[in-house]
Amino acid sequence: MSSELPHIPRREVTGAWVLLLGYATLLTGMVWDGQWHGDVGPDDFWTAPHLLLYAGTGIIGITCLTVVLLSTWARGAATSTPSVTVWRTFRAPWPFLVGGLGASGNLLYAGSDLWWHEVYGFDIAAGATPSHFGLGLSIQVEIFAMIMAFAVLRRTRAERWGLALAIGLATLGSTSAFGMVSEMIFEWLPGVAPRVLGLGAAAALILSLVIGLTRSWHWPAATGLTFVLVQGGLSLFAPAATRWYAEAIGQPMRDYAANMPQALIGFPVTYPLVALLAGGMTAWAVRRAVNPVRIAVAAGALAGLNTALFYGVLGILEMNLVVTLVAATALGAGTGWLGWQCAVMLRRFSERGLSVPRAVTA
């Protein structure tokens, strides 16, 4: 990175941190909702976990709208972050345009989800519903927006830790959309657990994205640490909050509900070891001047392999271990390459911040 710090307006810096807060709230609600569905079962649509989830979406949506309006009305030099002029009026920095669209989609699909549950009830075990699929994809868009917002920053140590925390949250949070999409795409593959492929691909994409963005061993390793904090924190919170909430509204726990943290099996707990290993590989590759794309691909393959091994050993998904292992490793390698390509594009976001501000018209 250049020693010259790109100028980023305060509204975008503050906006990135509030996006992080909004997504952390959303993810907390989502993990709590999953625990609630398993241990107790929904009372109605307006449960506390649902409200938390949508409060997070609201924070993201309002933040994005505020940043876009402030960018539009700002005096002086326009923002250096790549931006789009919407309807010839609104100047929207990309991360906040994407985040706003994701939040809008999230709220629209929330409306359709309310309708779905009124018509069909609350059984969600039979497979992904159309409204949950839309919600999952919209939330994934919000995740990408949060990563984009921090990819633009990365100027100070605090901002880089912000990126690491965003990545930690994104890794656990991506399980929903990637799991559903992979179940839709790979269901026909014999012997393979489609969900394992999806989670492996998510881990691979995000890990190689961090390697490509930061080009340093510290930050892939740091995302392992932030992931431990996110998964550990939510594993402590969700079962306790579920028990407390069930008592508070007089709902009994299910007979077989062990109140065990579902977040621990929602994504491999062994992932931080892969992140550390990816950090080690990066350090080695930097010293030996190995082509970084190879390291991104290798880290992706490792993330896929780890996911297949974790669920193979856990034994909660029906799969042929060898077939799933090979498929997840291959897909992880491919997604690792994709993560590197995305990082190349995202790095231009902050590099362009050093040049003359420009905006494109949409």
Partner 1 sequence: MALAAALAVLTVAVPAAAAPLPGEIVHTETVSMSDGAPITVGFTEWPVRALQSLDFTFEPAGGIDGRTGLVTTVSPSGDRKGLKGIVLQRRGDAIVLPRHPRAKQVWGLDVVSLPEEGTWRFEFAVERAGVTSTGVLPVQAIVQPGPPLGVSWTIALLPWAPVAVLVAGGWVRTRTIRRGARPSWSG
Residues found near partner 1 in the complex (CB under 8 A): 1-2, 37-42, 105, 109, 112, 116, 119-127, 130-131, 133-134, 137, 215, 251-257, 285-286, 289, 291-293, 340-341, 344-345, 347-348
Of the two residues 126 and 356, which places its CB atom closer to partner 1 in the complex?
Answer: 126
Task: Say which amino acid occupies 25.
Answer: T
Contacts with 131 (C-beta within 8 Å, 6 or more apart), sequence order: 109, 112, 113, 115, 116
Q: Distance between CA 307 and CA 324 in Å, rounded?
A: 10
| Closest CB to partner 1 among residues 7, 348 | 348
CB of 256 to partner 1, least distance (A): 5
- Rounded Cα distance between 273 and 279, Å, is 10
Nearer to partner 1, 72 or 251 (CB): 251
Largest CA distance in the chain: 63
Nearer to partner 1, 69 or 257 (CB): 257
Answer left, alpha or beta for residue 250, where phi above 0 means left and psi between -120 and 50 means alpha: left
Q: Least Å distance between CB 37 and partner 1?
A: 6
CB of 5 to partner 1, least distance (A): 14
Minimum CB–partner distance for residue 109 and partner 1 (Å) = 8
List, in sequence order, every residue forming a beta bridge with 11; answer none if it has no partner.
none
Closest to partner 1 by CB, 74 or 358 = 358
Nearest to 245 by CA among 263, 228, 259, 231: 259
Least CB distance from residue 220 to partner 1, whole Å? 13
CB of 185: closest distance to partner 1 in angstroms?
13
Q: Where are the beta strands (DSSP E) in 219-340?
A: none
Q: Rounded to an integer, what distance in angstroms lies between the CA atom of residue 274 and that of residue 279?
A: 8
Residue 322 or 345: the one with the smaller Cβ distance to partner 1 is: 345
